[in-house]
Structures are given as structure tokens and as C-alpha cells.
Chain A
Amino acid sequence: MDWNFIPLAFGQIVSPLTIGYALAALGLAVHFGFTGLLNFGQAGFMAVGGYFFAITTVKFDWPLWSSLIACVVGAVLFALLLGIPTLRLRADYLSIVTIAAAEIVRYTVKTPAISKFTGGSDGINGAGRDFYAMNPIPEGQYGFGVLTYNNNQLWSIIVGWAVVLIAALLVWQLMRSPWGRVIKGIREDEDAVRSLGKNVTWYKMQSLILGGVLAALGTVLIIIPTSLQPDNYGTQTTFFLYTIVLLGGATTVFGPILGSIIFWIVLNLADGVLSILVLNHLVPITSIQQGPIRFIIVGIALMILVIFRPQGILGKKREAQFSE
């Protein structure tokens, strides 16, 4: 039997998906955990950021720094677009509008009419051009056994985790600041904060922008070492992020990062174990049936987490009521 899947699963700690999802989940924690915004369109923020970055880099040949600015601007515009009509309304309106907007983004980028820019259903490759050109690490293979990376992969891992840690520190400091106390106050009792003279809608908008920008940058970390595929940003991506956030602790800063690591390791371990069982005919399912099982696991895990441990691994129960 091939046991390589075990080190490979733990190698997920440095995979682009784990790093990118950690950042996007941190953004979602800002929305959902700290502010109480029910954003079901985080995948939309990710897609917008990814496309702004990839199109400006690959199709317009912009340098890295200006593509990054474009990516941030895209996320801010998307947040304003979603926030202005819905932030005044009840929480469920935001959820419906955001999930719809995320799907609009996905359908739109797949439209053949604009595939000259978006690449249609195939997406965009090669967004890492300038990023790799800046790579100071000498060429070669680094690591051991099955976990060996070339200099470019190593470069994106180092930069990726550095970005995640800087973002986490930033969010941590922000949430300790007066601004963060207002944000958490909105989660606990919006009307009380409003009665103190704070502009609740504007604070919510700032939170939506901050979390959205984090999600957009998370996508950049994913698509630099891989590629940009529109169908990777469907509704299930948002649901994965919710599972990650609730697993680690929605009201904490390091919870989403821990959640992302655990999520991808567990998912890959489960896949590996299943593959072995299926290949050796130890369970009566076909290899086609193996695919959906990871999603069934995620769905059930999400339900169990919300019902029995809404505060996640790191959170405090007191903070995780999420009452309206």
C-alpha cells in the first residue's frame, strides 16, 4: 500500500490552497465573526480579486504592484456595490444578495463574449510572471521525500505565509483598537452602538471592505502558483470558508488560519484513506463515488460544528451567539 498520502496530507500546511483559504477565511471572520455580517458571497470577493489581478497581469502586462492595486480596488468596488443596497437591511438580505452576486461574477466571467479577457471557462494561467521574476532563491529542489519544492514554489510559500501572518497581526491590532470595539459592539447589539452616535452602516461597510480585500489577496496567493479557474469560486467555496472559520473559531484572529490548516489536512487524509480502501476493494464503492464523500464530510462537519461548538476550537462561547 502507498502511504505517501500521509506526508502529502501534512504537506497541505504549505499548499497554496491552505494559505489562500487562510487569508480568505480571515476576511470572512472579519465579516461574520467580528461584525456579524452574513456574507455568503466570499467566493465572489475571491473571484473579483483574482480576475482583476490575473487580467491586469496577463492580458494588460501591468507590473506586479499595479496589478495588486487593481486587485484591491476591485474588491473595494465589489464591497461598495454589495454593501450600499443591503447593509441597511436585515441580515438575511445581505446573505441572499451576496450569494447571488458571487454567482453573477462566476457566470459573467464564463461568458464567451468576454473570454478574450477572462479566458471563459478555462480561466487564466501565468499570473505569477512578475512574482517569480522577483524570486531571490537560487534554482534547485528544496525539501525531503515527497515534500520537495522547487525555488518558485518555495518563494510563493514563504511570501504566502508571510502575507497571512502580517494580515493576522493587522486584524488582531485592529480588533483591539477602538474601531474593533465598535465593530464587535455592532455584532452584539447594533441598536446600542447606534444609540452611541456611531454610523453603524458605515462601520459595517468598512468591515465588508476589509474582509473583501483579504479574500481578494488570498486568491492572488492561490492563483500565482496554480491558475485561475472560474468554477473554483462557486458557492461551495464560500461554504468551505464557513466551515474553516467555524472550525477554528469565528470570533478569533488565529482561528481561521488554524481552521484552514486542519481543514485541508483532514480533507486530504480522508481522501487518501478512502483511495486506499477503494483501490483494495475494502469498501463497496467505486472510485467515481469517492469524489462526493469529501463534500458530504464537509457538510456534516459544518452542521455539527454550528450545533455543538459554535465557538470553534479557539473561540469563547460567550462571543459566539450570533443573535440577530
Chain B
Amino acid sequence: MVKALRARPALLRVVLALLAFALAAAVFVFATPSAHAAPNSGGVPTVDTTPAPADSPQSIGIWVRVAADKSNVPNISVKVTGKGVTQTVVTGADGKISVPLAKPGTFTIELDTASLPEGLKVLGDNPREVTVSTGNQGVPGYFLLGTGDSSVVPSATASPGAGGSSDSGSKSSESLADRVLPRIATGLIFGLLIALASIGVSLIYGTTGLNNFAHGELVTFGALTGYVVSGVLDMPGWLGIASALVLGGVFGYVQDLGLWQPLRKKGIGLIPLMIVSIGLSLALRYIFQFIFGPDLLITPNNQTAVLNIGPIHLRGTDISSPIICIVVLLLVAFALLRTRIGKATRAVADNRSLAAATGINVERVIRIVWVAGGALAGLSGALIGYYQPVSWQTGASILLLIFASVTLGGLGTAFGALVGSLVIGLIVDLSQAFGVPSNMKFVAALLVMIIILIFRPQGILGRKDRIG
């Protein structure tokens, strides 16, 4: 323990320097005129509901459903116009149709009201416009049908892909910097979002040895909390984020109190515990689906840009989210390095028996770690809700990226998780700038993780004696 504490000041400097770099880079990229894509034009994983056609660089995914029971509506003819395209398509049996587009731009989607089932009309705008940026696949053009008036439905095109991005013309006119810089921005922001969740995974692993496969569900919990508070109850957005943070902590507390602590007391081994976390993950994930349904949920967000520099249109949340992340991460770093409980946490992570022998209440430390891990994951989920529509599997879909970050940085090291997250976030987004197809971006990140494991299994900041 003493050795661990002595070794840390150097680490502290590394981490602070890294955070400062992230902040500086974020500010720099935002301020660069060429960074014209919103932080989500492909940066954050989108739920794979609208498969893109094989051969076109862009596409719009149209999906028509009945608002009341969310049933899909087939055989609706939909007209897509804009950028020299005039195309009429018909929705398939699942209510969906993907429209391939050769060029990015703004397109008008119009549902043919004559083809609607009797008694139903389109809720929300019809026709409506969607903006498709270079490389965006499956930009949502979702329509809900209903009998009521149209004021209750938020604009279904309020999607991240279309949100603050401007189209950039054809690919050939882009320079390398034009392609890479926005990706660096989105990658860093995505990395910061993953980092919030990864630190929890890493701390829980460090203090208990448990590889928590149910951590993705803590993220989903936060995302859904944010959606319920600001989307369903119509409360302000900051309240949604704050309640995700608080309720996430409560969820972590309840999990440890009701499940993990009794199992530790029962003396169940780590591998069975890991399988318990898988069962928990499966059960929670589908309980979320049971309650919220299988659809994408959109947290209301002010789509108007607050910052316009040249072609950049940044929404308020595009600026505030990374700042919140960095502030919270700095607080966590401060707590770990400077407070009694933080030092105790690192001591437990380093050597549990030795920590207990020096009078540290190990169970109390683990409880606090669970609360903090849950709160950070909840915050991460709520912020993700401002970048992409959330669903019952939001957390599950990024769980492997969280694991990749944690493994990359070094299992059980909190700061390694941060470094790993930023690297993973950058890989996921930069891979697309260098021609990796968008559905393969996770593969790039996972492959890098496996390659790192071959050459440096302890991760970037891990120590060799822990992996044997």
C-alpha cells in the first residue's frame, strides 16, 4: 500500500496533463472552422435498427409506426426529394425502408397521406426535412401515426445525426484535416463519456475482483432516468442529468446491498460471481425493454445551435457535456488522490488483506465504490441520451467498449480506464475517417484491444504482476 501511494504523484501529473490536453483539444477542435460535424455524426454508436444499403455512402432510414401501440405500418409510400434525388419508396413489412443516397445534403421526406390506413394521420411534421452529412447511414426519418392532434409528438427527426451537422458537399472537396479533425472532436467526447462508465468498472474490479458484466445496465438506467425526467415528465434537462447521477448511485448502492455483499459474505468465487453479473445484465436489460418497449427514445434537446463559427453549428449540449465529464473526472481524480476515502480505495485495490489489516473498513470502501460507480455510469448514460436516441440496450451496446477501455488502460487501475477510454473513443471515430465502414467501427476498437493484450497484457498503465 505504501509503495502504491508513493508511486502515485507521477501518475497524478500524467492524468492531470491528460485531462488538460483533452480539454484543450476539445476547445481547439470546437474553435477550428473545419470541425464542422456535430459530435455525434457517427461518433456515438447508433442502435442498429436501420441497416444501410451496401453500396451508397449515405442513407435515410424511414420507419412508420402507429403511436398508440408502436406497431409497424407497411405499404406506406414515402417520397424523398432533394439534391437532385426524387424517389418514391414503400415501407416493408416491418414499417421500415432504407433510402440510399449518393450525396449528402438536406432532403424532404413526405408520407403519401392517401396510402395511410383509415382514421390515422401523421403526428408531427409532414413533409419534413432531414439533414444528411457525409457518411451518415440510416439517418432517422421516423413517423408516428395517430388519431390525436400532432402537438404531443416531439419532432422525430430530432436525431443526433441530423442535429447540429451541416452538409459538406461531396467527399472530394474535403481535405484530410476536414475529415480527421471533427472525428478527433467526436472521438474525444465519446471517449470522455465512456470514461465515466469505465472508471466505475475499473474501481469495482480493483476492489472486489469482479468483472461486472452488468455495468452496461447501470448506464442504460441513467439514460432512461434522464429520458423519463426530461422527456416524459417535462422537467429541465439539468434535472434529468442530476437525477440520473443520484439515482444511478442509489441503484449501485441497492445492488451491492441486496446482491453483491451477501454473495461476498457467502464466499462465492469470482467466476460464479461473474456469471451472476451476466444473469443480472440479461434480466435487467429485458426488464428495461419490458417497461420502455423496444423502440428508440429521444431525450428532448434544444436543436438550435448556440455557437456558430463558419459552418459549425454547435448545440448547447455539445459544449456542456464534455465540460461536465471533465469536471467530474477531475473531481474523481482529486477524491482518489487527496481524500482519505480515496486513498483507502486505492489501498484496498492494491492489497485487500493488507488494507484490512491497517484498519480500513473494506466493506465500507466497496460500498462507496459501488455507489460512485453507479452514479458515474448513470451520469454517463444521461449524457449519452443527448447524443443519440437511447433504448433498452444503450448500455449493453457500449459494454464491450467499456471493457476494451478498461483492459487497454490496465485492469483495476482507475486512471488507466480514463486513458483507455480516450484511446478507444478516438479509435472508434478516427477509424471511420480512414475508410473503415461505420458498422465496423466497434470492430476496430475491439481488435486494437486484442492486439494490445498480445504485446502488453497489463495494459497501458497496469503493472505486470497482476496478470499472471
Contacts and interface: CB of A to CB of B under 8 A. Distances in A.
Interface of A: 36, 38, 40, 84-86, 89-93, 95-97, 99-101, 103-104, 107-108, 110-113, 115, 120-121, 236, 239, 242-243, 246, 285-286, 288-289, 291-293, 295-296, 298-303, 306-307, 310, 321-324
Nearest to A32: B271
Given A89-B457, A286-B69, A296-B283, A101 B290 contact: no
B54 A295 contact: no
Contacts of B437: 111-113
25 contacts: A38-B271, A38-B274, A85-B453, A92-B411, A93-B411, A96-B403, A107-B442, A107-B443, A108-B443, A110-B439, A111-B440, A113-B437, A242-B278, A285-B290, A291-B294, A298-B279, A299-B282, A299-B283, A300-B283, A306-B272, A321-B269, A322-B272, A324-B269, A324-B270, A324-B271
A89 B453 contact: yes
B118 to A, nearest CB: 23
A85 B278 contact: no
Nearest to B449: A100
Interface in B342-401: 400
Contacts of A40: 278
Q: Which 8 residue pairs spanning A and B have beta carbons closest together?
A: A299-B283, A302-B279, A299-B282, A112-B54, A303-B279, A292-B286, A295-B286, A85-B454
Contacts of B447: 104
Nearest to A320: B272
Given A84-B454, A96-B404, A112-B53, 6 more contacts: A100-B404, A293-B286, A299-B279, A299-B285, A300-B279, A306-B272
A159 to B, nearest CB: 32
Nearest to B445: A100
A248 B54 CA distance: 43
A254 B427 CA distance: 45
Contacts of B275: 242, 246, 302, 306
B54 to A, nearest CB: 3
B283 A104 contact: no
Given A300-B279, A307-B263, A100 B271 contact: no
B69 A93 contact: no
A191 to B, nearest CB: 10
Interface in B151-208: none
B263 to A, nearest CB: 7
A44 B74 CA distance: 34
A296 B279 CA distance: 9
Contacts of B289: 291-292
B318 to A, nearest CB: 27
Given A99-B400, A288-B293, A299-B280, A112 B55 contact: yes
Contact of A93 (B51, B266, B286, B453): B453
Contact of B290 (A92, A99, A107, A296): A296
A256 B294 CA distance: 32
A100 B263 contact: no
B185 to A, nearest CB: 25
A93 B467 contact: yes
A289 to B, nearest CB: 5
Contact of A298 (B52, B268, B282, B454): B282
Contacts of A111: 437, 439-440
Which of the listed residues B270, B281, B282, B293 has the most CB atoms from chain A within 10 Å of its own CB?
A: B282
Contacts of B272: 306-307, 310, 322
Interface string B33-61: 00000000000000000011111000000
Which of the listed residues B269, B278, B287 has the most CB atoms from chain A within 10 Å of its own CB?
A: B278
A40 B403 CA distance: 13
A29 B18 CA distance: 45
A288 B292 CA distance: 11
A301 B279 contact: yes
B205 to A, nearest CB: 8
Which of the listed residues B404, B449, B450, B467 has the most CB atoms from chain A within 10 Å of its own CB?
A: B450
A299 B284 contact: yes
B416 to A, nearest CB: 14
Nearest to B451: A85
Interface in B412-460: 437, 439-440, 442-443, 446-447, 449-450, 453-454, 457
B407 interface: yes
A36 B447 CA distance: 25
Contacts of B442: 103, 107
A38 to B, nearest CB: 6
A239 B278 contact: yes
B283 A303 contact: yes
Nearest to A301: B279
Contacts of B404: 96, 100
Contacts of B263: 307
Contacts of B53: 112
A42 to B, nearest CB: 13
B450 A288 contact: no
A89 B462 CA distance: 14
Interface string B247-281: 00000000000000001001011111011101111
B468 interface: yes
Contacts of A85: 450, 453-454, 457
A52 B403 CA distance: 29
B467 A303 contact: no
B70 interface: yes
Given A100-B404, A289-B290, A292-B290, A115 B54 contact: yes
Interface string B287-311: 1011001100000000000000000
A38 B270 CA distance: 11
Contacts of A115: 54
B243 interface: no
B400 A100 contact: yes
A322 to B, nearest CB: 4
A303 B460 CA distance: 34
A323 B269 contact: yes
A90 to B, nearest CB: 6
A40 B211 CA distance: 13
Contacts of B454: 84-85
A302 B266 CA distance: 17
B244 to A, nearest CB: 22
Contact of A86 (B281, B287, B440, B453): B453
Contacts of A112: 52-55, 437, 439
